[in-house]
Structure 1
């Protein structure tokens, strides 16, 4: 049975924690799961909620920061210092997994050692509203060559992943390192591209993999100024991938031009 380490960073989301953890431990039969909740010095009762959950389930560990370290440092603490399963997932405390998501991703990665991570379709839902109906039966999977997948990201100038729907091979996560502290708002897309520079990319077909909560605290932008800043951040992320992985990417200059042309439109 595959082992999966799930890192749940939490800042002021104690009221979401129980539901998030339930989706990981009670709805993922077929994999051996452990959970680490990292409370980043929340001013609410998040740490107390996390400790209570851990007291009721030995599969849960808790770390509580005395001072706020920020989301990037918190991510990397869990991913690089703690995770030791075959695979690792990073799940925000306000999101949740679709039932069976981890076993579907693990099955893909078990069958395809060339794939460095697996993802699928996320379902967005409005905070305060009901969860949308989720598909839980996969119709199969596909593995994209990492270079092809990465080339498409550069040509489109965007990512195609929200975040909670991703499961990464732990050995690859350690190889490429953690999230870049210089990219606080575009670290996700840079990470997926960095992983794809080293391995192929798996996609779970037919089933939904995670629920992504949409509310005012999401790190997203809607006004013009915010959109412009998002474009700048994405461009920095694309450049960062080329700096870190350029030796693995023949034609890196062409990729950079494609991304800049797309983002300038």
Structure 2
């Protein structure tokens, strides 16, 4: 009797030492996910650096792969993690965040049902240090996101997208065709989101898909993240790349969810 072929969602997590203790909560949220028959998740954790302090926090689970490498930021770590990814889909899960119940199954169902969609995002709840949560009252409507909509909003609202790149669920081949996360010290995930938006349709789910932890050690809480000169340079590169893809979207690939 032939073994049943199982399909995989690769969950990609970049981690550095300060965030390592939060891996336990991320793992609990992943184990709690229920997927359709024939599907599994594969959690790929890539340390941004090499040392002995992160590994002890990595769960002992055959579905978990742990890698290390020279430091280069979260985008580089995620791209190195992709060396171990072989599934049809990629889900982003930052080391200090948690998936909500049912998030993976919802994302999967959307892309499995509609070949014209390349990616999904969902609503986010901020997870505050005292354990309480806070929502965002300006999320878009539930439904498809047409090409260019996120990019247009980002340009019109001081380089802030209306959907959160930390909730991204994407077709693996599309992510790779676009070169993955940008080689930037920050905003690398926004750069990928905008690139995806101008070459393929997406979908926004108004059900909460992520608990986004707010804590003093997170990268976006550091002064370097808001340095105006660096931010201006980052935004210029992100916009230039996205504009180039607007001009040449059909050169990316010929599948139905492009062009």
Shorter-chain TM-score: which interval?
Answer: 0.7 to 0.9
Change (3 A) 1:59 1:19: same
Change (3 A) 1:133 1:99: farther
1:77 to partner: Cα distance: 1.2
Change (3 A) 1:149 1:133: closer
1:39 to partner: Cα distance: 1.9
Deviation sequence 1:100-158 (CA, Å, 0-9, x none): 1010111111112111110110111223x215399xxxxx9511221344333333332
CA distance in 2, matches of 1:208, 1:148: 21
- Aligned with residue 110 of structure 1, among 101, 109, 112: 112
Do structure 1's residue 167 and structure 2's residue 175 form an aligned pair?
no
CA distance in 1, matches of 2:132, 2:102: 16
Deviation sequence 1:33-87 (CA, Å, 0-9, x none): 111111223656211221xx13xx211111123x4343221111123x2222221
Q: 2:68 aligns to what? A: 64
1:23 to partner: Cα distance: 0.9
Consecutive unaligned residues of structure 2, counting only runs of 5 or more, are: 1-5, 136-140, 251-259
Aligned length: 235
RMSD over equivalenced CA pairs, Å:
2.7
1:5 to partner: Cα distance: 0.6
Q: Which ranges of 4 or more aligned residues in structure 1 deviate by more than 4 Å? A: none
1:2 to partner: Cα distance: 5.6
1:19 to partner: Cα distance: 1.1
Change (3 A) 1:37 1:248: closer
Please state whether the residue corresponding to 2:163 is helix, strand or coil: coil
Residue pair 2:33, 2:104 contacting (<8 A) in 1 also: no
Please state whether the residue corresponding to 2:220 is helix, strand or coil: coil
Change (3 A) 1:60 1:221: closer
Q: 1:258 aligns to what? A: none
Do structure 1's residue 24 and structure 2's residue 26 form an aligned pair?
no
Please state whether the residue corresponding to 1:74 is helix, strand or coil: helix
CA distance in 2, matches of 1:41, 1:222: 19
Q: 2:55 aligns to what? A: 47
CA distance in 2, matches of 1:210, 1:145: 22
1:213 to partner: Cα distance: 0.8
CA distance in 1, matches of 2:62, 2:47: 18
Do structure 1's residue 9 and structure 2's residue 9 form an aligned pair?
no
Q: 1:37 aligns to what? A: 45
Q: 2:128 aligns to what? A: 126
Residue pair 2:41, 2:63 contacting (<8 A) in 1 also: yes
When normalised by structure 1's length, the TM-score is 0.78
Query: In the TM superposition, what are the counterparts of 1:1-265 in structure 2 within 5 Å?
Result: 3-12=8-17, 13-30=19-36, 31-41=39-49, 43=51, 45-50=53-58, 53-54=59-60, 57-65=61-69, 67-79=70-82, 81-127=83-129, 129-132=130-133, 141-156=142-157, 157-181=159-183, 183-205=184-206, 207-220=207-220, 226=226, 228-229=228-229, 230-248=231-249
1:10 to partner: Cα distance: 1.1
More helix by share: 1
Change (3 A) 1:24 1:189: same
